[in-house]
Structure 1
Amino acid sequence: MAKQRLSKQDWLTAALTALAEGGVGAVAVEPLAHRLGVTRGSFYWHFADRNALLREALEWWEAQGTEAVIERVDGIAEPRQRLRALFRIAITEDPTNGLEPALVAHADDPVVAPALHRVTRRRTAFLAEVYAELGLPAPQARYQAACAYAAYVGWMQLRRATPTALPEIADDPDALTHFVEHLVLAIPDTTPP
């Protein structure tokens, strides 16, 4: 086995990929070390144990897949354009295909649950803010945010689980545009002509 020193990020990325492919149980030191072509010693250089790896990987996912994306679109002044950009980024720039459905499937895991709850709360709160900017009263903005987020998670799950049954979800840019526009245009335009 090659002896190279991997960065902490290499291990985090490998853990998220394993989680996306095989669930929480696939995040194990020995198989990850084998996948990365290193010994287990490399792992212990960066992490105390498997749970520390999983926790840090999920924190990185939260920072990159939620906070960084929100920061990217937050400067877009027009709310509909902000929603379009947000959904397109979330769907097309998924660095670990299948991760979100795998996390939802393991929502009862004691390490996954807190991260998944934080991310869900943060994402739906941001969506509710944008929908409120479009003129929805706060309770309706929250409902719309929940519906939009559920649709996004469903889209990602179907793309992962049934790409051949629904090929338009897997790689059809027109279907993606239709989906994004449906989430954006579900709110009536209240701007004066």
Structure 2
Amino acid sequence: MKQAAAAKQGRKRLTAHDWADAALAAMGERGIAAVAVEPLAARLGTTKGSFYWHFANRDALIEAALKRWEEVSTEQIITAMEAEPDPERRLRHLFAAATASGAEDPLEVSLLATAGHHPQVAVVVQRVTERRLGYVAHLFEELGFPPEEAHRRGLLAYTSYLGHTQLSQAVPKVLPQGVDQEVYLESVMDELLRR
């Protein structure tokens, strides 16, 4: 009895963000089916009661997790990029940083694969995709490209990022590594910026 009370006192009080982050990690590892209360509670070292303190049901957790993904992997990154005044540097840095991050995190690929089968995921993936494409197209417009051409180049940049991310998860050995990867990514950006 004393051990249980001591363990309960030593346990960190979890937030809705903790649960959302755990759900995102599970989605990245094993897809949306991995978002289940009991395994997530075990992963977090807590009970189901903690889950029900924050969420009414699994769908509410999935919604919170997707909102968290949108905030962290899109809005926070765009906000951070805006600190760089030069749009070309901003674009190059965004492409390099996003590509490196995508290579390390399977969540992006998992969510894209799930979007076609799960309406809750599809809505968020659509919104995130439109936001990202809009931002990248805006950067090309800032560089002087007409809106239609800026959108086309933004789409090319985004699909290059997604393709690179998928390959880095599925068959990483086909991609350049280390310094060669940096040179490769710079060459992709050089092509996209060519007039």
Q: TM-score range by the shorter chain?
A: 0.7 to 0.9
Q: Is the 8 A contact 1:30 1:40 kept in 2?
A: yes
SS for the counterpart of 1:115 is: helix
Deviations along 1:34-67, whole A, 9 cap, x unmatched? 2222211111111111111111111111111111
More helix by share: 2
Q: Please point out which of 60, 66, 72 is paired with 1:64.
A: 72
For residues 22-171 of structure 1, the aligned pairs below 5 Å read 22-93=30-101, 97-108=105-116, 109-163=118-172, 165-166=173-174, 168=176
Q: Is the 8 A contact 2:103 2:168 kept in 1?
A: no
CA distance in 2, matches of 1:54, 1:96: 22
Q: Is the 8 A contact 2:37 2:58 kept in 1?
A: yes
Aligned CA distance change for structure 1 residues 16 and 65 (closer, same or farther; 3 Å): same
Q: Is the 8 A contact 1:69 1:89 kept in 2?
A: no
Q: Please point out which of 166, 186, 190 is paired with 2:192.
A: 186
SS for the counterpart of 1:186 is: helix
Amino acid of the structure 1 residue aligned with 2:127:
R
Equivalent residues, number: 186
SS for the counterpart of 1:67 is: helix
Alignment RMSD (CA, Å)? 2.1
Q: Is the 8 A contact 1:17 1:96 kept in 2?
A: no
Aligned CA distance change for structure 1 residues 96 and 54 (closer, same or farther; 3 Å): farther
Deviations along 1:81-132, whole A, 9 cap, x unmatched? 0111112222334597111100100112121111111110000001111111
Larger Rg: 2
When normalised by structure 1's length, the TM-score is 0.87
Q: Please point out which of 169, 176, 181 is paired with 2:182.
A: 176
CA distance in 1, matches of 2:61, 2:27: 12
Gapped regions of structure 1 (runs ≥ 5): none
CA shift for structure 1 position 184: 4.5
CA distance in 2, matches of 1:66, 1:178: 24
